[in-house]
Amino acid sequence: MTAEATPKPHLGRNIRHFRQENDLKQDELADLMGDPWTQKKISQLEAKAAIDDGILEQVARALKISVDDIKEYSNVPVVNYVQNNFEGSNTQAPNVNNLQCTFNPLDKVMEAHEDVKRLYEALLKEKDEKIALLNKMLGNKQG
C-alpha cells in the first residue's frame, strides 16, 4: 500500500481559477468555447474533479493557456514560517533588540508638515494672483 506524494488536482476548480483570473463569468467562457457550451455546462464542468483531455484542450484554448497549466495548478496554500519577534513565551512585550529604525519618525512627520505648509503657501499665492488678475480684468471693463 503506497500513498501518493501529491493529491490529484481538482481540474474543475483549476478551470474556475483561470476563468476568474481572466475576469470571465461562466457565460462569457461558454461564449468563447462556442456551441454547445452554456453557463450551466461550465458550472457543471467546474464541479468535476476529473475532466477528459479533449474538453481540457477546448477550455485551455478559450482561456489562452496550456492544458498543463490547468493540470498542474495547485491552490494549496504555502505556509511561511516567520521568526518570532517576541521574547520567550511572553507575547505581550516585543523584543526591543529587533527594532532597527533607520530614521526618526518625528523627522518624517516634520518633513510632511513642512511640505503641506509649502503647498498651502503656494495655493494662497496662486489664489491672490488670480484675484488680482480678475480685479484687473473687471477694472478694464468698468473703466
Q: What's the pLDDT tens digit per position in 29-74?
A: 999 998 889 999 999 999 998 999 999 999 999 999 999 988 888 8
CATH architecture of 11-72: Orthogonal Bundle (1.10)
Q: Where are the domains of the chain?
A: 11-72, 102-142
Inter-CA distances, 50 with 64, 77, 114, Å: 20, 21, 63
- Considering the entire predicted model, what is its pTM? 0.50
Location of C-alpha cell 512585550: 93
